[in-house]
């Protein structure tokens, strides 16, 4: 917790305060280290002088003690000089040292060093300096014979130490203050002032003043940084002006595109209305043409008995009527495709849902395509895999999609399939295994499989585009508008299904319609809203 608080506090401290804290702390540490050496040296000098004094007193007292005895001249001299002295044998000194720690330390020094003749200990007693001295008396072999123990109080030594300390503290405070002032001025003028100038310039640039420039003339890296910053601002200003010019040009282009889109939407609306109107207008006379052509064919067949040989004129007239009938049927199918596509684009295709048997629907489609397959020499058969549930869908749209697949398969497979084999088309219906997700609906797949020339993989996406056919190859001779698969894809989307294509050149093709068993009415409402939106777009006269 503490490091986070400390880090947060450090992040909030300004650069000036950081410099002051760091430089001030460094100066204080340097001054303290620098003053500790003379302070220790002065203390050592004072204690050395006191050691000399204690040594002389001990010598004088020892001579007086040897001459006059402990209670004679030596004792009087010690009292007059303000100190206490006594001579102890090594055994006495050891015995007393057990309860006297300073004496024990001094005696230890004398015993560990045979050449040592004295030892001194100093301590403070209030404002007085107390010194204890221990002098050794040794024989010629360096063996300790006795020790002179001297204890005295020195006010002069305490005064000298206090005065020395005061002088050192005063000098240190003066040096510290001057160093802080000098460091502050240096950091303020050389570091902080250029940094503040750069920060103010950056804040003005952030507020949108791109014409501002930094004016720093320090002759060092800060001036180089300011010049680089100014160069960046000049480049930014130039880029900003260039972007303004580009935006102005883009606004002009956008207006042009808006006008072009308006024209395109209007054209698309006119196209849709034209297709719908023309298709309706063409379908009425075409139905009459088809009806009259069928009536004339029946009359021609009735006029010529089956047992009588047909004359060339009758054969020719019958062939002409059949051509009229066939061409009219093809033209009517084309018009129906155009009408269906117009309704899909306008979102006006209504669904009529029923539950149908997939098996019965497939059998009916196979029977419906059989005459065309017989004319092309193609074998068509149905294949139902397993038990299939009832399918909730629009029967007419379902048959329209699958019949489109069958018609294309029969037309492109022809009399022989890929590699010269017998042309064959299979209509297969099967139930798909449910998905792993809980919301995966149960589905049925209806596939049309042929052994025709196949479709290249790169063309799979194009075959579902409107008015799009394969460019070269055997499909070119069959004609058509290219609307069948596009309509099938849109209808499959309305039925909440998908279309899959698996094909390759020389391996035939498989078009599959995958539908859910249960129709989702909630999704149908979304699709209806989408269809109304598309219809509104298709019917707009102006864009925007």
With CA atoms as reference, report the closest residue to 497 among 405, 426, 384. 405
What is the DSSP track for 143-190? Answer: -EEEEEEEEEEEHHHHHHHHHHHHHHHHHHHHHHHHHHHHHHHHIIII
Under CATH, which architecture does the 354-433+441-518 domain have? 2-Layer Sandwich (3.30)
Residue pair 411/456 in contact (Cβ under 8 Å)? The answer is no
Domain 13-179 class?
alpha beta
> For the segment 371-390, what is each residue's pLDDT rounded down to a tens digit?
889 888 899 999 999 899 99
Domain boundaries, the chain: 13-179, 221-351, 354-433+441-518
> For the segment 250-270, what is each residue's pLDDT rounded down to a tens digit?
988 988 888 888 888 777 767
126/123 Cα distance (integer angstroms): 10
> For the segment 391-416, what is each residue's pLDDT rounded down to a tens digit?
999 999 999 999 999 998 998 887 55
> For the segment 111-139, what is each residue's pLDDT rounded down to a tens digit?
887 777 888 888 888 878 888 888 888 87
405/489 Cα distance (integer angstroms): 11
pTM for this model (two decimals) = 0.48
355/91 Cα distance (integer angstroms): 126
447/511 Cα distance (integer angstroms): 6
pLDDT at 516 over 50: yes
CA angle 17, 21, 22 (to 5 degrees): 115
Residue pair 147/135 in contact (Cβ under 8 Å)? The answer is yes
């Amino acid at each position: 917790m503490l490091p986070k608080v400390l880090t947060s506090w450090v992040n909030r401290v300004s650069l000036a305060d950081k410099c002051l804290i760091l430089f001030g702390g460094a100066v204080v540490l340097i001054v303290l280290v620098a003053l500790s050496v003379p302070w220790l040296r002065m203390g050592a000098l004072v204690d050395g002088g006191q050691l000399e004094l204690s040594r002389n007193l001990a010598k004088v007292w020892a001579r007086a003690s040897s001459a006059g005895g402990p209670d004679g001249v030596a004792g009087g001299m010690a009292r007059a000089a303000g100190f206490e002295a006594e001579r102890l044998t090594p055994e006495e000194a050891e015995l007393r040292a057990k309860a006297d720690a300073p004496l024990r330390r001094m005696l230890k020094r004398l015993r560990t060093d045979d050449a040592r003749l004295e030892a001194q200990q100093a301590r403070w007693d209030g404002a007085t300096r107390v010194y204890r001295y221990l002098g050794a008396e040794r024989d010629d072999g360096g063996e300790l014979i006795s020790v002179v123990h001297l204890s005295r109080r020195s006010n002069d030594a305490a005064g000298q130490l206090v005065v020395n300390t005061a002088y050192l503290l005063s000098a240190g405070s003066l040096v510290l203050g001057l160093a802080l002032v000098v460091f502050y001025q240096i950091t303020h003028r050389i570091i902080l002032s250029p940094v503040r100038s750069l920060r103010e310039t950056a804040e003005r640039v952030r507020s949108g003043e791109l014409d501002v420039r930094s004016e720093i003339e320090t002759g060092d890296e800060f001036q180089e940084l300011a010049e680089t910053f100014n160069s960046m601002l000049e480049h930014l200003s130039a880029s900003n002006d260039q972007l303004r010019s580009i935006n102005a040009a883009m606004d002009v282009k956008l207006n042009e595109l808006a006008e072009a889109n308006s024209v395109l939407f209007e054209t698309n609306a006119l196209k849709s209305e034209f297709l719908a109107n023309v298709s309706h207008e063409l379908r009425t006379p075409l139905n009459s043409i088809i009806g009259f052509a069928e009536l004339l064919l029946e009359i021609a067949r009735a006029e010529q008995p089956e047992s009588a040989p047909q004359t060339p004129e009758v054969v020719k007239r019958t062939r002409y009527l059949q051509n009229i009938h066939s061409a009219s049927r093809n033209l009517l199918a084309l018009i129906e495709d155009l009408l269906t596509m117009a309704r899909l684009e306008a979102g006006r295709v209504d669904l009529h849902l029923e539950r149908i048997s997939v098996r019965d629907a497939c059998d009916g489609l196979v029977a419906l395509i059989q005459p065309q397959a017989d004319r092309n020499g193609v074998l068509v058969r149905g294949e139902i895999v397993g038990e299939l549930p009832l399918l909730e869908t629009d029967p007419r749209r379902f048959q329209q999609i699958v019949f489109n697949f069958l018609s294309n398969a029969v037309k492109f497979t022809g009399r022989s399939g890929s590699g010269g084999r017998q042309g064959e088309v299979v209509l297969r219906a099967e139930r798909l295994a449910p998905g792993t997700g809980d919301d995966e609906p149960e589905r049925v797949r209806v596939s049309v499989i042929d052994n025709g020339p196949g479709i290249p993989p790169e063309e799979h996406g194009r075959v579902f585009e409107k008015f799009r056919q394969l460019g070269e190859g055997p499909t070119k001779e069959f004609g058509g508008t290219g609307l069948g698969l596009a309509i099938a894809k849109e209808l499959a989307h309305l039925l909440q299904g998908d279309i899959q294509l698996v094909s390759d050149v020389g391996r035939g093709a498989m078009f599959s319609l995958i539908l859910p068993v249960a129709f989702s009415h909630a999704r149908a409402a979304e699709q209806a809203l989408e269809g109304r939106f598309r219809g509104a777009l298709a019917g707009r006269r102006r864009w925007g």
